[in-house]
Amino acid sequence: MPNPTKVIVDCSTGISEVIELTDEEVAELAAQAAIAEEQRKEREAEEAAKASAKAALLKKLGITAEEATLLLG
């Protein structure tokens, strides 16, 4: 299977050409995708932890999220 391609446009001439990515460029894209996926997982884990902590606090206080908003607003 051929590598993905990129389009290079020369704005001064309007000429564009489609070029196949090198193996190094494909490897770099894969590495960047892996980093982005790891960051997404970390962000989702942080958000889940915050939501869990918030729910636990609301339960401990015996109030709903709406009531907490009214108290703090």
pLDDT level of residue 41 (50, 70, 90 thresholds): very high
At 26, the pLDDT band (50, 70, 90 cuts) reads: very high
d(CA 15, CA 73) in angstroms, rounded, equals 58
Length of the chain: 73
User: What is the predicted pLDDT for the residue at 73?
Assistant: 82
Which pLDDT does position 9 carry in this prediction? 96
Query: pTM, whole model, 2 decimals?
Result: 0.67
- pLDDT-derived band at 1 (thresholds 50, 70, 90) equals confident
The pLDDT mean for the chain works out to: 95
Give the Cα separation of 6 and 35 in Å (integer): 21
HSE-up (13 A, CA, CB side) for residue 64: 3
